[in-house]
Amino acid sequence: MGVFTRPYDTLLDDFQETARPQREWVDGRGLLLIAGHFLSGVGAGGWAFASAFGYLPGEVASVLLLAASGLAHLLFLGRPGRFWRMVKVRTSWVGRGFLGLTLALAAAVAYLALTLATGRDDTAAAGALWTLSLLGAVVVMLYKGNVYAVCRAIPFWNSSLLPILYVAYALRGGVALLLLFLPWWGAGVDQGLLELLELWIGLSAGVCILFYLTIMASASVGARRSVEDLLRGRVAAAFYGGVVALGLVVPLLVGLWNVVTPVSLGLLALVGAASLSGDFYVKYAIAKAGRYLPHVPGAR
Amino acid sequence: MRYGMVIDLKRCFGCYGCQVSCKAEHATPPGVFFARVVKRETGTYPNVRKVYLPMLCMHCEIPPCEAVCPTGATVKRPDGIVDIDRELCVGCRYCMQACPYEARYFNDRARWYFGAQGPTEYEALGYAQHPVGVVMKCNFCAHRLEHGQLPSCVVTCPTKARTFGDLDDPQSEVSRLIKERCGEPLHPELGTGPSVYFLPA
Amino acid sequence: MGTPAGNGQAAQEDRWIPSACTICYGGCSILAHRVNGTLVKIEGNPASPVGNGRICAKGLSGIMILYDPNRVNYPLRRTNPRKGIGIDPGWKRITWEEALEEIQVRMEKLRAEDPRQLMIQVTTTLAPSSLLFFTFGWAFGTPNMWVAGGGIHCGNGAHAVGGIMHASWSLVPDFKHCTYALYFGASKGHGAGHAATPNMEQAADARARGMRMVVVDPICNFAASKANEWVPIRVGTDAAMALAMVNCLLNELGIWDADYLKTKTNGPYLVRPDGTHARDPESGKPLVWDAATGAARAYDDPAAKDPALLGTYEVAGEACRPAFELLKEHVKRYAPERAERITGVQAATIRRLAREFGEAARVGSTIVLDGVRLPYRPAAAIYFRGAQGHKNSSHICFAIDLLNQVVGAADVVGGALGFNPVCHGHPETGRPRYVPRAERDGLMTPGTWMLPHLPYPPAEPRHPDSMGFIELFPLSHVSPLMASADQEQWWQRFELPYRPKMLLNYGANSLMSVGNKDTVAETLGRFDFVVSFDLFLNEFSDFADIILPDASYLEVLDPRPNFPFIFNHPAGPGTWGWPIRQPVVPLTHERRSAREVLLGLAYRMGLGPEMNMALNVFYGLDGPQMLDPKKAYTFEEVADRELQHKFGPTHDLAWFKEHGVITWPKTMEEVYWRPFVDVRVPIYWEFMLGLGEKIRRIAASRGMTFDPAYYSPLPEWLPCPSHEVEDAAYDLYAFYYRDVLHTNGFTMENPWLDEASRMDPYSYRIALNTETARRRGIRDGDTVWVESATGRRVSGRVKLTEGIHPEGVGIAACAGHWSRHQPVARGKGVFFNELLEVDYEHTNPVNLNLDLCAKVRVVP
Amino acid sequence: MSIRVQFMGPLATTLRARETELAGEAGLTLRQLLDRLETCYGPEFTQRIYRTLAPPRRLQMHTRIFVNGNAVDDAMLDAPLPTAGVEPGSSEVLIYFMPGASGG
C-alpha cells in the first residue's frame, strides 16, 4: 500500500469507535473541500459588500476567491472531468451550490467587465448582472450550511442552525475581506460604519456557535461525541485556537478597542485576517468533529 | 417487487463470513466493505451483552443518498435496489455523508492488499471492474440475482442468519419472518424506509 | 467473483471445482470458481453435508493464501551456519534435485546409524491428512513424531478422554434435540476447528429452536456471547465446578440414571479397600453385587439381574463397595461452597445449574425417532480446549463428562455426542465400517482412531526409547519433552542412547505454537539439519537448513479430508459425506505437493516396502487395493486405491474429481448408538492405579516424580503452577482462546482476515476487565506489558471489556509474528505462548498435556 | 517350511535387525513363532508386540502383523501359519510396529 496506507489504517481503527469519525470531507484531499467552502463563503460575502460599496479591488478579490473556491471543489472531486453533470438541483444542495457558484462567478465577471468597459455601473444591464451575481452569491452562502445540515448520518451536522451559522460567517467573511484592504483603501469608505458592522456580525456568530453547541450536546449520543471532540478531543486545538481565539476574541477585542480609540488601519486589517482564519477553522472544526450515527444504543 | 433482506441477530455470532464472501464476490479493494460486521458490547460485568450487527446497504425506500447526489448517478431501481451508475458519479462523496448506515465507500486510488508487492492475479482481474475516483456500494448482488442466485452473503452465512426475498409478497420467507419475529430496520426513526430488517437477538 | 465480464475479457473457462478447505481442520467442503485459469471465488459445496453449501470467513479467504506474493516458490538452502531467532539464514535458491540429493544422503547416513535420530514434526492445521507424514516416520523407523503445539495444547487432553468416554475425538451437544447445553471452555458451533461450519449451522438452529445454552468461561465472546447465561469462572478451575455439580446431582438432588449406570458404565463394579476391583479368581473379570440373588458375579454374567450401585458387600473377606458409591462419596469433598472459593462462581449458582441440568436431562424418558424407541436425555455438558488446557487436564475432562454419565446423557438423543463414533459404511460397500467394542473389563475402546494407537486400554508403560517418553505415559499422544527446556536433563537421566540430529517439518511453526520462543529455539538449535516443507518463510524457518516450497491446499490432492469421521465430520443425525480435496489451480513456480515428494524420497531411499505397508495401514488398504511392497506408487494412485477400497471401483478417483463428494444417509443406530452396542464406559478409572504404580516404578528411580493424585481413579481438581504463585504482584491469570477468524498462527498473513481482525474489537488485542484496568490506571487502547511470574513478558494494546472475569487477561489465537517474510502478519496481535513454560513441571503426568495458563501482572 | 520374518518401523531399530529366517515345522502357529522370536530378542520384542506380558497375551493396537500380505488379529494367533508364501512351501511374516502420535 505504500504511502497511501495511512487512510486505510485510519479507517480500520475508526471502525473500533462506537461513533465513527467522518474522514472523506476533511482528511487528505478533503481539506480542498473545506478550503472550497471557506473561499466560496468569503468570496460571496465579499462580493456582496464590495459591489455594494463599489470598491473595485474588493470586487476583484471576491471574484478571485469565488474562482479559487470553484477550483478547490474541482480538485477535490474524484472525477473532476464530469463536474458539468452536477446539475440536479431538485434535491441536491451540491447541485444548487454548483449552479449558484457558476451563476455568481459568471455574472460578477460580466458585471465587472461591463462596468470597466462603460465606466458606469448604473446602466440597466449592469444592474441586471449585479442582481444575478447577488442571487448567485446568496445561493452560495446558503448552500454551504445546508450541504452539511441535510446529512442525517452525522448528527452534529444535522441541525437547521448550521446554515444560519454559515450564512453569518459568510457575511462576516465578506466584511473581513474588505477590512483587509483598508490600509490601501484610504478614505473612500466610512470606517466607523464598517467597524460596527464587523462587531455586530462577530457577536452574532459567537452567539450562534454557543447556541449551536448547547443544543447539539444534548441532542443525541452521536452529537455528544462530536462536541466532546470539539471541546476536549482531537479537534479542540483547532476549535479553541482557530475558531475562538483567532476568529472571535482577537477581532472583538480590537473592535471594542477601536470603539474606544480609533486604531490604525493596519490593525483593522489584522482583524480582518484573524476573523477570516476563524471562518476557515469553523468549517474545518465542524467538518472534522463530524461522527456518524452510532448503531448500537448504549454501547461503549 | 421490492427486494429485501432479514438478518436474525439471534443466529449471527460475528464470524465475518458475510464480509469476506462479499469481498471475494465483488473483489472490493482494501478498505471497501459492501458488507461488514460491527461488534459492540452493552451492560456491565457480569450482565454483559454482546451485539453483532452485520451491516450492508439497506436499499432504502426513500434513499437519502439518492436525494443528495448532484449528478443523478445514484438511482433506486424499480425492484428496490439502490445502485450507482459508475459512468455518472463525479466522486463528490456527498452520498457517503448522507447515508446513516455508512454503506458507501470511496475508491480513491488503485490499492492492493499486498501494497508495494503489487496486485495478486485475483486482484488484477477483479479490480478492473471498479473505476477509480467513484463511490462504490452493495447492490444486493444484482448480477447474481439475474442468474436466479441469492446474494453471496446470504448463501455463505454459516448460521443461516440472512434471508432474502420480495418484501411486497406477504407469503415470502422475509415477510413471514418480519411478522413472526417483529423484525425492525436499523434507525427507523430516520424515515428512510430500509429494506433490511433485523430480528431481535 | 461474479461475472468478470466487467473487464471486457470474455470468459472462455468458467468452472466450479469441488474440493475441501484446509485453513483450519474443519475441512469444510468447498466449490472453487476458476475463470480463465484464475481462482476468483470459493463457496461452500451444497452437495456435501460438511457445510451444506456454507463456509466461514476463513474458508472464503483462501484466494489470498494461494496468490500471496510472499509464498515460498523455490527450494532454498541456508548459507549462514549460525542459527537463532531473527538471524538471517542467508537463503540461496537451489534446485529440487540438489535439495533431495542432500536430504537423501543425510537420511541414509542417519538411518544406518540410528533411525531414531530423525524427528518428524507436522502441523495440526492440515490434519487429518498431515498425519500421513507419520507413515514416513514408521517406514524410516523412528518413533519420534509429534504435531507441535496443537498436540500438547489440546490433543493429549480433550481428545484422549473423548476417546475413552465417547469413542470419539470431540464432544458436541446433540444440537438437533438438546434443550440444555452446558459449555465448559468450548465454543462448539461458534468458532474454528472440528466441523466448524456445520456446527455453526446446527448450533444456530438449536438456539433458534430454544435450546438453553449456559457457557462457563473466563471470557464472554463467541459461544458465551450467544448463550442464555454466561458464567464467568477463574481460569483453570472448571473441574472444581463440575465436581461440585456432580455432588449436587448425586448427594443433594438425588438425580442419576441407575439403569444407564448399571448397564453402560462400570458403576456397579465392586471396589476393594485398596481401590482395585474385586475380580473373579478364574476369569479375572471385575465382580458386581447382584442384589436380586445376594451374590457377587462377574459383570457380564447374565445371571446378575440387578447389579447394586450402592452399599457395602463382603467379597473374599473384604468390604467392597460399588464404584458408583465411591464416586458418590468422593464428590462430597467438592461442596459448592468449597467450589465457590476455588472458582469464584457462587455456590447458589452452582446448585441452580446442577438442578437445571439434572431436571433438563429427564432421566428415564425415551423418544421415538424413525420408528425406533431411544433413550432421551436432552441435556449435555461439553468441554474443549479452554477447559482442558491446564495441568490436571485428564481429570478436568473426566469431571465434566461425569455430568453426562451420571444422568445417562452420553451418545443418546439430546445428550453429549461424540463425533460419529459409529459408522456402518456406504450401503454398496459397507465401508468405512467401525463400531466401538468392549475391551479389558468390558470397557469401551473406539472403533477407529486417528492412528493405530488407541486411547484405551493403555499399553504397558515401558522404559522410553523415544525423545518424548510417550511409551512411559501410555495415555499420552505427543509430548512437550520434544521441545522442553529440560529435555536434555531427562534424556541423560533415562540414558537415552541417542540424540536428535535431523528434523523433518511439515508446515508447523513450532517456534510459536508450543511455548516461549527461547526454550523452543534452544531445542531447535540441537539439530544438525532441519528440512521444512512450508508455504511461507516464518519464525521457524530461521532454524531450517532446507526449505521446500509446499503446495497449498488448493493445489493438492487428498482422498480423505474428513476421515476418520470422528475428527471433523459433522456429528448428529443427517447424512454421511466423503468429499475429496483436489487441485483447483495447476501448480506454479517450483511448488510440489509434499505428499508426492515424501513418497518419492521414500522410494529413492529404498524404503518402498516399509512405506507401502505403512500406507496400507494408514489407509486401511487390503485385498485388491493393497499396495504391493515391491512396487513404487504416486500419491495419486494411493488416493485412487483408497477411494476404490472404500466405495468400489465405480467410485474411483476420476469419479470423485468430477462429483467431489459421495453421500449416504445416517441411520438412528449409527447416530444414537449407545443402546445398540454392548460396551461400558468407566466412571471409575481403576486402570489409573495400576498404570500410575508401574510408571512410578520406572520413572521415580530416574528422578521423574509426580503427585499420585493425578492417577486417582476418581477426578480431582488440582491447582496449576499458576494457582500456587504466592507473589501478590502477579494477580491476574493470562489465557488464550480460539478466534473464529484465525487458525493457530497461520492466518494472520491473510490480508482479508487480517483486515477483519484489525476491525474486530478483540482479535488483536489484550482483553482486560474494565474495573480491573481502571484500578491500575490503564485506559482503552493503551499498550501494556503482560509479565508472567516466571519472567516471560509480551506486549500489546488493551481492549477494555465488561465481558471478562476480573482476574482474566484474554488473548486470541497464536499471533504476534515477527518474521519479516510475512509482512501482513508481522506485528499483528499478541504472542500469548511466550508466557508459557515448557518443561516437565508444567506438564500433566498422565497425558503429557501442557499447562496453558500463566499467573501474570499487567504493567502500563 | 522356511519362514522369512521382516521387522518394520522402529521395531527394526530396537531389535537392531530388519529380517530373519526361521525353519519351522508344518502346523506351527503364529503364537509359537512369536514365542521363538521372544527367545531370540528377549522382552524388548514382546513388550512391543503384546499388550501385557501376562497371559492371555493379546496384540498391541499399534502393532500390525501381516502373514503373506494379509493382516492378522488376535483370533488368528493360534491358527497354523499358511504355507502359501512367495516361494512355494514358505511363508512370509511381516511385523510392523507403529507408535502413535496424533493430535490437533
According to the model, what pLDDT value does residue C2 have? 54
Domains and CATH numbers, chain C: 171-191+201-207+214-418 (3.40.228.10), 690-714 (no CATH), 722-859 (2.40.40.20)
Q: Which tens digit of pLDDT belongs to each residue from C272-297?
A: 999 999 999 999 999 999 999 999 99
Chains sharing 3 or more CB pairs under 8 A with chain C: A, B, D
ipTM of the complex: 0.93
Q: Which tens digit of pLDDT belongs to each residue from B107-118?
A: 988 899 999 999
Domain assignment present for D55:
yes
B50 vs B40: CA distance, rounded Å? 6
Which residues on neighbouring strands pair with residue C810, listed in sequence order?
A: C735, C767
Mean pLDDT (chain C, rounded)? 95
A98 vs A61: CA distance, rounded Å? 20
Supply C53's cell numbers: 453449501
Rounded to whole angstroms, what are the CA distances from C771 to A20, B46, B49, C796, C853? 25, 12, 17, 19, 22
Residue in chain B nearest C9 by alpha carbon: B125
Write out chain B residues lying below 8 Å of A83, CB-based: 90
Domain assignment present for A7:
no
Q: What HEC string does C57-83 produce?
A: HHHHCCHHHHCCCCECCCCEECCCCCC
According to the model, what pLDDT value does residue A216 have? 72
Dihedral (C-alpha) A227, A233, A238, A243: value to the nearest 10 degrees? 30
Reduced to 3 states (helix: H, G, I; strand: E, B; else coil), residue C733 is strand
C711 vs B52: CA distance, rounded Å? 44
According to the model, what pLDDT value does residue A213 have? 75
Q: Do A11 and B31 touch (CB under 8 A)?
A: yes
The nearest CA of chain D is from the CA of C569 a distance in Å of: 15
**C505, C518 Cβ separation under 8 angstroms:** no
According to the model, what pLDDT value does residue D75 have? 83
Q: Residue B78: CB partners within 8 Å, gap ≥ 6?
A: B1
Whether the pLDDT of residue A258 is over 80: the answer is: no
For B108, the domain range is 3-199
Whether the pLDDT of residue A61 is over 70: the answer is: yes
Rounded mean pLDDT of C765-789?
Answer: 96
Chains sharing 3 or more CB pairs under 8 A with chain B: A, C
Domain assignment present for A5:
no
Which residues on neighbouring strands pair with residue C534, listed in sequence order?
A: C549
The nearest CA of chain C is from the CA of D24 a distance in Å of: 24
Q: Which tens digit of pLDDT belongs to each residue from A139-153?
A: 999 999 999 999 999
**C133, amino acid identity:** F
Whether the pLDDT of residue C73 is over 80: the answer is: yes
Query: Crossing angle, helix C347-360 and helix C393-407, to 10 degrees?
Result: 50
CB contact B55 to A (< 8 Å): yes
Whether the pLDDT of residue D41 is over 50: the answer is: yes
**How does strand C546-549 pair with strand C76-77?**
antiparallel
Q: Do A16 and C755 touch (CB under 8 A)?
A: no
Tally of domains within chain B: 1
Q: Which tens digit of pLDDT belongs to each residue from C100-151?
A: 999 999 999 999 999 999 999 999 888 877 888 899 999 999 999 999 888 8
pLDDT band at C650; cut points 50, 70, 90: very high
Q: What is the DSSP letter of C139?
A: H
**C144, C138 Cβ separation under 8 angstroms:** no
According to the model, what pLDDT value does residue C6 have? 42
**C749, C827 Cβ separation under 8 angstroms:** no
For D62, the domain range is 2-97
Q: Which residues of B7-35 are buried (b: 16+ CB within 10 A; e: fewer)?
A: bbbebbbbbbbbbbbbbbbbbbbbbbbbb
pLDDT band at C833; cut points 50, 70, 90: very high
Whether the pLDDT of residue A191 is over 70: the answer is: no
Whether the pLDDT of residue B121 is over 90: the answer is: yes
Name the phi and psi angles at C323, rounded to 5. Answer: -60, -35
Whether the pLDDT of residue C753 is over 50: the answer is: yes
Whether the pLDDT of residue D61 is over 90: the answer is: no
The whole-model pTM stands at: 0.95
Percent with pLDDT over 70 in chain C: 99
Nearest by CB to B143, which of C3, C208, C759? C3
Nearest by CB to C755, which of A12, A16, A300? A12
Domain assignment present for A296:
no
Q: Do C470 and D101 touch (CB under 8 A)?
A: yes
Interface probe, candidates A17, A85, A101, chain B, greatest B C-beta count within 10 A: A85
Q: Residue C712: CB partners within 8 Å, gap ≥ 6?
A: C395, C688
Nearest by CB to A152, which of B38, B92, B190? B190
pLDDT band at C686; cut points 50, 70, 90: very high
Interface of C with B in 191-230 (CB under 8 A): 196-197, 200-201, 203-205, 207-208, 220-223, 225-226, 230
Which residues on neighbouring strands pair with residue C320, listed in sequence order?
A: C313
Chains sharing 3 or more CB pairs under 8 A with chain A: B, C
Q: What is the DSSP letter of C269?
A: B
Q: Do C147 and D102 touch (CB under 8 A)?
A: yes
- Which candidate, C260, C270, C266, places its Cα nearest to that of C291? C270
**Cis peptide leading into C457, omega within 30 of 0?**
yes
**C665, C424 Cβ separation under 8 angstroms:** no
Q: Do A12 and C761 touch (CB under 8 A)?
A: no
Task: Select the more confidently predicted residue: A299 or A138.
Answer: A138
One DSSP character per residue, C145-208 reads: EE-HHHIIIIIIIIIHHHHHHHSSS-EEE-TTT-SEEEEES--TTSSSSTTHHHHHHHHHHHHH
Q: Which tens digit of pLDDT belongs to each residue from C332-367?
A: 999 999 999 999 999 999 999 999 999 999 999 999
Mean pLDDT (chain A, rounded)? 86
Nearest by CB to B97, which of A88, A154, A296? A154
Residue in chain A nearest C755 by alpha carbon: A12
Whether the pLDDT of residue C5 is over 60: the answer is: no
- Which candidate, C753, C762, C737, C736, places its Cα nearest to that of C836? C736
- Which candidate, A126, A107, A215, places its Cα nearest to that of A162? A215
According to the model, what pLDDT value does residue C486 have? 97
Q: Do C225 and B129 touch (CB under 8 A)?
A: no
According to the model, what pLDDT value does residue A192 have? 63
Identify the CATH number of the domain in which residue D58 sits: 3.10.20.30
CB contact D56 to C (< 8 Å): no
A61 vs A55: CA distance, rounded Å? 10
Name the phi and psi angles at C564, rounded to 5. Answer: -65, 140
Task: Select the more confidently predicted residue: A191 or C298.
Answer: C298
Whether the pLDDT of residue A3 is over 50: the answer is: no
Residue in chain B nearest A90 by alpha carbon: B67
**Cis peptide leading into C128, omega within 30 of 0?**
yes
A220 vs A207: CA distance, rounded Å? 21
Write out chain A residues lying below 8 Å of B53, CB-based: 295-296
Identify the CATH number of the domain in which residue B194 sits: 3.30.70.20
Interface probe, candidates B94, B189, B192, B196, chain A, greatest A C-beta count within 10 A: B94
Q: Do A15 and C759 touch (CB under 8 A)?
A: yes
Tally of domains within chain A: 1
Q: Which tens digit of pLDDT belongs to each residue from C524-565?
A: 999 999 999 999 999 999 999 999 999 999 999 999 999 999
Q: What is the DSSP letter of C574?
A: S
Which residues on neighbouring strands pair with residue C726, listed in sequence order?
A: none
Tally of domains within chain D: 1
Write out chain C residues lying below 8 Å of D48, CB-based: 462
Domain assignment present for D77:
yes
Domain assignment present for D103:
no
Q: Do B134 and A79 touch (CB under 8 A)?
A: yes
Identify the CATH number of the domain in which residue A254 sits: 1.20.1630.10
Q: Do C139 and D96 touch (CB under 8 A)?
A: no
Supply C91's cell numbers: 537463503
Q: What HEC string does chain A produce?
A: CHHHHHHHHHHHHHCCCCCCECCCCCCCCHHHHHHHHHHHHHHHHHHHHHHHHCCHHHHHHHHHHHHHHHHHHHHHCCCHHHHHHCCCCCCCHHHHHHHHHHHHHHHHHHHHHHHHHHCCCCCHHHHHHHHHHHHHHHHHHHHHHHHHHCCCCCCCCCCCHHHHHHHHHHHHHHHHHHHHHHHHHHHHCCHHHHHHHHHHHHHHHHHHHHHHHHHHHHHCHHHHHHHHHHHCCCCHHHHHHHHHHHHHHHHHHHHHHHHHCCCCHHHHHHHHHHHHHHHHHHHHHHHHCCECCCCCCCCC
C505 vs C529: CA distance, rounded Å? 11
